[in-house]
């Protein structure tokens, strides 16, 4: 037993480690932090100096929202077990925060305008480029007829980014812009993609433009002029949930963007999937019984076979920039991230298609 004279009362110990006596009693009941000594006659709890580090760590874990069961693993498990538990908890926290942010933005969108004023300033050419990149991913006329939001570009304002997002449910394009200034709270608006293209053609010649939302509507202003942003009152899909649901990709392919695009163009077929096979230093494309096309590539992960609609994959390549393209592949049935190998501000997700050859 520890020297009784060196022990601290529950109040003194709590002050030292930043925990209330009630919390220490709770940790005792849960076997997280047992006192070093309990007076049999009075029931008073006493703690030893060498318990300070454990108590402080327990407090930090609870402050981070770590569940009690996971906290016990961190306190008593191996370093590897503790790291795994904390990384898993961090992932859950990110997902929850992203979902909350999206939900709050949607609620703010539905609230009466009041005195709200949101403003973000970006480069005119950068905005036009972002529209060019995401617009190919909007839905077809048939999709827009059924789900009008799929014919729109989502513009998210607030924080350190301005995001433009578009999807047709088979592709998802996200471009982040770094604004030179931001005023007001987070907000999002939906603008018809056709209207957005016209506005981008106007903005491209301006050094900078501001996207503004106030009680009277939404506006694009620059060069002493302004254009109304005609908003659409629809609900955009929760794209953040899709992005957050993607695990780390075990397969990564880097190849020349122009060469891959030319190979897709050479397939010359519609409706027939193009099959990609990865190798150690190459990427092979085949369509049906046609001859294979092989491209130099940097591939990580085990060999993989995956099929795409050639037109969808081609449009993702067209929207990217730079000489090289990066494919991040989780599996042949999960969305594939397509982005420029040297630019992380633009991301496209493309859904693979059924690969009949692999099933035969």
CATH number, residue 166:
3.10.150.10
Does the pTM exceed 0.85? no
**Domain span at 63:** 4-76
Flag whether 277 is in a domain.
Answer: yes
Alpha helices in 111-152 (DSSP H): 124-134, 141-146
Nearest to 136 by CA among 163, 169, 176, 168: 168
In a domain, 37, yes or no: yes
Q: What is the mean pLDDT of each run of 10 residues along the chain (360 residues)?
A: 73 90 84 89 90 92 85 90 90 81 69 66 94 91 88 88 91 91 86 94 94 88 92 88 83 91 78 85 85 89 92 87 88 90 78 75
Residues 275, 336, single domain; the answer is yes
Strands (E), the chain: 8-9, 37-38, 45-47, 118-122, 152-157, 162-167, 171-177, 181-183, 187-192, 209-214, 217-222, 225-228, 251-256, 274-278, 282-286, 293-300, 305-308, 324-329, 336-340, 346-350
| Residue 87 belongs to some domain of the structure | no
The total domain count for the chain is: 3
């Amino acid at each position: 037993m520890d020297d009784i004279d060196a022990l601290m009362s529950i109040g003194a110990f709590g002050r030292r480690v930043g925990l209330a006596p009630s919390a220490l009693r709770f940790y005792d009941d849960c076997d997280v932090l047992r006192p070093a000594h309990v007076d049999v006659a009075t029931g008073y709890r006493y703690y030893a100096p060498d318990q300070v580090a454990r108590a402080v760590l327990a407090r930090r874990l609870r402050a981070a929202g770590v569940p009690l069961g996971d906290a016990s693993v961190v306190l008593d498990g191996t370093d590897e077990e503790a790291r795994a538990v904390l990384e898993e908890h961090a992932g859950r926290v990110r997902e929850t925060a992203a979902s909350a942010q999206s939900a709050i933005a949607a609620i703010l969108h539905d609230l009466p305008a009041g005195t709200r004023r949101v403003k973000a300033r970006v480069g005119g050419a950068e905005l036009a480029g972002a529209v060019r990149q995401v617009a190919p991913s909007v839905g077809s006329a048939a999709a827009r007829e059924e789900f009008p939001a799929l014919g729109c570009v989502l513009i998210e304002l607030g924080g350190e980014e301005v995001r433009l997002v578009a999807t047709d449910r088979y592709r998802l394009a996200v471009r982040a812009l770094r604004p030179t200034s931001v005023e007001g709270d987070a907000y999002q608006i939906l603008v018809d993609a056709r209207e957005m293209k016209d506005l981008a053609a106007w903005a491209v010649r301006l050094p900078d433009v501001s996207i503004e939302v106030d009680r009277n509507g939404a506006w694009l202003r620059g060069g002493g002029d302004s254009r109304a942003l005609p908003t659409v009152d629809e609900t955009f899909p929760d794209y953040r949930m899709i992005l957050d649901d993607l695990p780390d990709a075990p397969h990564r392919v880097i190849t020349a963007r122009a060469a891959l695009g030319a190979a897709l163009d050479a397939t010359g077929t519609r409706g027939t999937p193009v099959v990609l096979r990865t190798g150690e230093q190459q990427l092979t494309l085949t369509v049906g019984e046609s001859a294979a096309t092989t491209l130099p590539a940097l591939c990580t992960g085990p060999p993989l076979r995956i099929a795409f609609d050639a037109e969808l994959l081609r449009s993702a390549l067209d929207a990217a920039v730079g000489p090289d393209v990066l494919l991040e592949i989780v599996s042949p049935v999960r969305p594939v991230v397509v982005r420029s190998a040297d630019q992380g501000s633009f991301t496209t997700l493309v859904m693979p298609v059924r690969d009949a050859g692999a099933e035969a």
